[in-house]
Amino acid sequence: MHKLEKKDYNGIKAGIWYTIGNIIIKGIPFFTIPIFTRLLTTNDFGIYSIYLSYEEILSVVIGLGISGTVKIAKFEFKNEFEKYISSVLNLIAIVGILFLVISNLSYSFFTLQEWLSRFVVNLIIIQSISVAIYSVVSSKYVIDGDYIKNLLIVFFMTVLNIVISLILCISFLKSSPYLGRIIGTALGAIFIALFVIFKQNRISPMVSKKVYNRFALVLGLPLILHQLSISLLAQSDKIMIQTLVGNREAGIYSIGVIITSVLAVIISSIDSAWTPWFYSKLSEKRYDILIEKNNILVIFFMYLTSGFILISPDIIHVMTEKSYWDSIYTVIPLIISIYLNFMYVFSVGIEYFLKKTGFISMVTVTCVFLNIILNYFMIKQFGYIAAAYATCISRFFQFIFHYLMAKYLLGSKVVSTEYLIFSLIGVCIIGYITNIYIYSIFIRWGIIFIITIIILFYFYKLKIFDRFLNRSKR
């Protein structure tokens, strides 16, 4: 194997393992649903989900967008890369400590919800610091190709999270299981952050240097708005449901979000594998091949999404306690929202390729405001389930904005508009049918069988299986 080929191979392998790690950490909440929905009431689960929302948003702010600078810093500082990592980790820790000091000094001036005690607020901040630190080190492992290290850290953090939470919920904090879940999650992240800090300090002392910190802030601070917008778009629903309705409803809604995240992770993983090929064909201006292959991808994801919608009531009935079953009505529009995310992947890919990232941030910020406005009026008028439909509407406009911009920038199609429209209508029809036949398992599984036969026939006509078998023989 030539040197260049070996390097490319290692890069691909690292990407695959990073994706596996990503699936593990994001998939664990799904597989622990049967355990924690039986240990936590809907009210407790709502409190825990809001805690995570606050932590995710705050970790973006404390992280200063620095995790997004690691890749560039690797090439900018080369032999001093480890010094850069140590310096920026120290900077994040200093910012986090400032947040801790300010929050404790000002805590008595605010009237917070009962569960947001000084102890819990401190946990939110400390966990946010830990997550921000881990994000930087994780980015370092990815750029260095240390996929095994990254995977092991993700694995141990997840195991610690679950084991400590279970011990606390079952034994020491049986009367306040939400607090046991919160402490368990925080301690898992804190232990891992302390470990990576100790390890990094042995490689290069944790000393701040002006040149590294300035570089990190100049590149990182502009990324905060984009990263924060993504977090707000994902978390604002739960926060507004809790504020306008209550913890119980936020807990039920959160189950729907966790279940749909499985589909989001699958789409994200396939997108990671598809992007290099997409960019190579864009650079060659092979729009005919792009349209042909992307149309097939659209049909495949329409099938995957439709199947997931049709079995979602069964997933909820099997994996959750009866008090959570109302989340069925939020899952369907949330799954359609995930499909809309997939639909604008093509357009966002073009914008990244043409270096028009400013527009991506602008659209994300616009859709955050749209989602918050829709949530406010729709939740007050129709209840917490309406938040899922507000998300769906926001994602639709996000798709439209990106589609129109990409078409204007490139001046050519990379996927058939007809296929996109047909697939979206198809997914919405399946969602409508599932909503009617939520408790008719034979009808829903019968539809899955029929759709599967149609898709297999479609792939057979395109001779996709023949191509796959021929490649396997080579």
Give the predicted TM-score (pTM) of the model. 0.84
pLDDT for residue 218: 86
Domain that holds residue 212: 14-235
Model confidence at 174, in pLDDT bands (50, 70, 90)? confident
Q: Which residues have a Cβ under 8 Å from the Cβ of 196 and sit 6 or more positions away?
A: 133, 134, 137, 153
Q: Is the pLDDT of residue 5 over 50?
A: no
**Least confident interval from 75-79, 168-172, 340-344, 400-404:** 75-79
54 and 197 fall within a common domain = yes
Q: Is the pLDDT of residue 413 over 90?
A: no
pLDDT for residue 141: 82
212 vs 331: which has the higher pLDDT: 331
333 and 384 fall within a common domain = yes
226 and 326 fall within a common domain = no
Provide, rounded to the nearest whole percent, the portion of the chain with pLDDT above 90.
42
Is 7 among the domain residues? Answer: no
Asked which of 235, 261, 290 is the last residue of a domain, the reply is 235
* pLDDT tens profile 13-62: 555 665 566 666 666 777 888 888 889 999 999 999 999 999 999 999 99
Is 8 among the domain residues? Answer: no
HSE-CB for 299 with a 13 A CA cutoff = 19
231 and 250 fall within a common domain = no
Is 182 among the domain residues? Answer: yes
Q: Which residues have a Cβ under 8 Å from the Cβ of 394 and sit 6 or more positions away?
A: 233, 367, 370, 371, 374
**Least confident interval from 27-41, 96-110, 138-152:** 138-152
Is 276 among the domain residues? Answer: yes
Model confidence at 4, in pLDDT bands (50, 70, 90)? very low
Q: Is the pLDDT of residue 1 over 50?
A: no
Cα(387)–Cα(380) distance, integer angstroms: 10
Q: Is the pLDDT of residue 94 over 50?
A: yes
Alpha-carbon dihedral angle through residues 191, 193, 197, 203, given to the nearest 10 degrees = 100
224 vs 333: which has the higher pLDDT: 333
pLDDT for residue 272: 65
Is 305 among the domain residues? Answer: yes
* Selection from 288, 410, 286 nearest residue 350 by Cα: 410
328 and 307 fall within a common domain = yes
Task: Report, as an integer, the average pLDDT of 401-422.
Answer: 86
Say how many Å lie between the first and final Cα of the chain, rounded: 17
Is 387 among the domain residues? Answer: yes
200 and 270 fall within a common domain = no
pLDDT for residue 252: 93
214 and 255 fall within a common domain = no
**Least confident interval from 22-36, 127-141, 306-320, 432-446:** 22-36
In which residue are the tokens 């930087």 written? 136
191 and 224 fall within a common domain = yes
Asked which of 235, 270, 291 is the last residue of a domain, the reply is 235
145 and 170 fall within a common domain = yes
* pLDDT tens profile 349-394: 888 777 777 777 788 888 999 999 999 999 999 999 999 999 999 9
Q: How far is CA 112 from CA 9, 57, 121, 186, 238, in A?
A: 52, 18, 10, 20, 17
* Selection from 139, 430, 452 nearest residue 309 by Cα: 430
447 and 315 fall within a common domain = yes
Is 364 among the domain residues? Answer: yes
Provide, rounded to the nearest whole percent, the portion of the chain with pLDDT above 70.
91
* pLDDT tens profile 430-450: 999 999 999 999 999 999 999
Cα(129)–Cα(125) distance, integer angstroms: 6
424 and 363 fall within a common domain = yes
Asked which of 211, 235, 259 is the last residue of a domain, the reply is 235
> Mean pLDDT over all residues of the chain?
85
72 and 119 fall within a common domain = yes
Characterize 411-424 residue by residue with b for buried, 16 or more Cβ atoms within 10 angstroms of its Cβ, and e for exposed.
eebbbeeebbeebb
Is 32 among the domain residues? Answer: yes
Q: How many domains does the chain have?
A: 2
